[in-house]
Structure 1
């Protein structure tokens, strides 16, 4: 590996990571109601489990995101670099009720509106736009309308940035250097010797099938793979505390020829919290479940992911493409909040719809429409659910802030 700079005092030793990561997670979740929502999938599904039978529509079992908040959607590139908006994080994917994705997205958008100081009536408009966009994905008569759907500002900004990013820009933004090493600091922490050896064994000694799968390059011959550097990656919110590694690879001597390294993401796969549909086969191993769900929901991402074992731990390995981005929705205008709800609901609806045959799509659309009084209004089950979730979420957020504030003096 390339010699790196001295370890920053901000970087804890591997044996001291967990309490530091727990504190970082608490700080992130205290920043705003929207930031708190990203780390509360378990609370959301506790609420789902408390509902009486028939309260929520029971949709046809399909692969769902399982943690469908705004930050888990964004521009995703396929192996050829073509970019489209898809689900981009599938840690919680299962075969389940598609309504759970719709509700989780609705709560995320409602908390984004709350964090943006938007009036309450916008939440009502968000709920209506959410279901209208979702239904649109299942209605063949509205296919032309879908192709003309206006992209909200938050989507346009992310897409423009994604389309103009290069691999060298990705290295600069994620690694802060174009040199082939990872500087330790706030985002990257040192690894133990055992972790380094495990990564070397996985990426240099395993079958080349693994590398061929996760790399987007078209490789005509077995490549020479060399691990340039690796580090623990402090990334995400709900996933903080899991094993997460950034790895720089030189593939086929590209770096020696002046090209940028490949950035590999190795992420621990853990048990999903979303309820699983009964009588449906799903991979038992978490790493295989995540990859299988990705291949159904976001094929362009799933096709460059690989389940693996890292020193006995279930992980998912993938190359990060320059165009892979998440949406930033901390400050939304009234119009953009509603347009975002409609647009992102279409994205989720299309991910669900392509897993259904024509008859199932038609029946599911009819079931959703049965519960609507007016085409422009959200049905009572959706509106009441979002309101209940918001009230529950606000109480939990304030309690989280109170507990966090008690441990830290006011500045």
Structure 2
């Protein structure tokens, strides 16, 4: 290699590695305040493959893309609720408020108000990285991304024309095929006691408690339990009045810490809380709730500051459930929030009816393409729903209309530009992944 060319390449790599170092230190260190042990666990997951690295470094994605002059953004005065971390693994099957088993988006920790385009850009890149990991060719990746983008726009148009209504638009066993249908069918066969049987034990006095012998469950101190119990009434008060039972329904029977989590959630505190429930309605006696720590969403560090947004969403747990209620119509009736030990938490049911797609579901070309189209329709539904339904009188426009106006008549150009960009950014992520592994060695994170 020519010496001058080698010098240029080396310089670019050093600068990018320094950027990665600075961002990791700023977010995982200063903002997240992850311990060295937690960072090691997170980076051990991220170093598995480029897709895992991408999932664990959303802050790097937003650092790279928010100042780029993309076409097709919605105007700043017409934002929509976005997931903030939309990727192929943030979709799953679960039971909604009406006890229907549906396939939908399932992670709102990074939820924020902004342009829909960031969700779509991140999703398109994830499709390439994930399918590349499963050894699909570049041309096939192009096809998957195009199928996703085409269906996304088509579904928005269907909502805008009134052919479909995002308020009652769901994917169930009846209207799905392939891996999603198989996943939902398996969920329908589950017992209501599935999660209780998995996480708890019953002693000789018929008292149920968590099985702390499980690898990912650990006991809490008496002081922690007392402090959490003291804060619990704030959770009860935060529940929607239409969903709320009498206070005795939410009586805490047992609490444990949940160890282990997704890549981006590493280091966040999580608790499983067993509450009394009631058997008056059937299948509601003893319920497991999950309380998860919520922190400032990553997009907030890169999007323009919105004073009104932060006035309405000072509590980070409230922000997360606000996002979920905006993007789901039939949300979890146990959604609530509280503060504990100076940290914000949101609460949801640890549902017995929850299941993700597995690696084996990403092997067949036809199945993957079908899944991409379904995920695209769900993405469009989530964005189309996130306007007036939970903020009556606040937003005087429809999200799907604002998005379609931003795309205009240039639907082919929209698909082409996002496809090209996602292919470019896939290469960036793959190169960053190699630099990240070098950085780990230099920082001696996994020194033997």
TM-score bucket of the superposed structures, by smaller chain: 0.7 to 0.9
The answer on whether the counterparts of 2:192 and 2:283 sit within 8 Å (CA) in structure 1 is no
Q: What SS does the corresponding residue of 2:330 show, helix, strand or coil?
A: helix
TM-score, normalised via structure 2 length: 0.75
* Alignment partner of 1:320 out of 344, 350, 353: 350
Which residue of 293, 300, 303 corresponds with 2:330?
300
How many equivalent pairs are there? Answer: 384
Distance verdict in 2 for CA 1:95–1:364, change over 3 Å? same
Task: Report SS of the residue matched to 1:317.
Answer: strand
Q: 1:259 to 1:194 in 2, by over 3 A?
A: same
TM-fit CA distance, 1:160: 1.9
Q: Which has the higher contact order (CA 8 A, sep 6+)?
A: 1
| 1:209 and 2:236 matched | yes
Note the residue ranges of structure 1 that are not aligned, 5 or more in a row. 1-16
C-alpha displacement of 1:285: 2.5
Bigger shift: 269-278 or 386-395? 269-278
Pair 226,287 (structure 1): closer, same or farther in 2 beyond 3 Å: closer
Residue 309 of structure 1, aligned match among 331, 336, 339:
339
1:191 Cα deviation after fit: 2.9
Identify the match of residue 195 of structure 1 among 208, 220, 224.
224
- Tell me the residue number matched to 1:371: 410
Partner of 2:256: 230
Q: Secondary structure at the match of 2:265?
A: coil
The CA distance in 2 between the partners of 1:342 and 1:336, in whole Å, is: 10
User: 2:80·2:399 contact (CA, 8 Å) conserved in 1?
Assistant: no
Unaligned runs of 5+ residues in structure 2 are 1-33, 203-207, 388-395
User: Structure 1, residues 279-299: CA drift from partner, whole Å, max 9, x if none?
Assistant: 684223212211111111023
* Distance change (3 Å), C-alpha of 1:317 and 1:99: same
- 1:370 CA drift (Å): 2.9
1:335 aligns with 2:366: yes
CA contact (8 A) 2:97 2:330 kept: yes
Cα 1:390–1:97 change in 2 (3 A) is: same
SS in 1 for 2:298: coil
Which residue number in structure 2 is paired with residue 30 of structure 1?
47
Classify the secondary structure of the residue corresponding to 1:74. strand
- 1:112-140 superposed Cα distances (whole Å, 9 cap, x missing partner): 10110111111111221111111122123
2:59 maps to what in 1? Answer: 42
Matched, 1:395 2:427: no
Structure 1 CA distance for aligned equivalents of residues 344 and 421 of structure 2: 35
Cα distance in 1, alignment partners of residues 217 and 229 from structure 2: 18
Residues 194 and 127 of structure 1, relative CA distance in 2, 3 Å threshold: same
Partner of 2:209: 180
* Per-residue deviation, 1:349: 0.3
**In terms of mean alpha carbon deviation, does 22-31 or 99-108 score higher?**
22-31
Q: Which residue of 2 aligns with 1:133?
A: 151
Deviations 1:81-130 (A, max 9, x none): 12222221101001111111111111222111011011111111122111
Q: Does 347-356 or 275-284 show the bigger shift?
A: 275-284
Matched residue, 2:294 = 269
In structure 2, what is the Cα distance between the partners aligned to 1:225 and 1:281? Answer: 35
**Structure 1, 178-187 or 238-247: larger mean CA deviation:** 178-187
Per the TM alignment, residue 332 of structure 1 is displaced from its structure 2 partner at its CA by 3.2
Backbone CA RMSD of aligned residues = 3.5
Please give the alpha-carbon distance, in whole angstroms, between the structure 2 residues aligned to 1:229 and 1:359.
42
Name the CA distance, whole Å, in 2 between partners of 1:177 and 1:110: 43
2:109 is aligned to: 91
Offset from partner CA, 1:319-366 (integer Å, 9 cap, x none): 222223333357432222222221101101011112358876345325
Shift of residue 310 of structure 1?
Answer: 1.3
Does the aligned pair in 2 maintain the 1:246–1:263 contact within 8 Å? Answer: yes
TM-score (norm 1): 0.81
Q: Distance in 1 between matches of 2:407 and 2:307?
A: 23
Contact map agreement 2:271 2:292 (CA 8 A) in 1: yes
Counterpart of 1:70 in 2: which secondary structure? coil
- Contact kept in structure 2, 1:214 and 1:304, CA below 8 Å: no
Question: Would you say 1:239 and 2:265 are equivalent positions?
Answer: yes
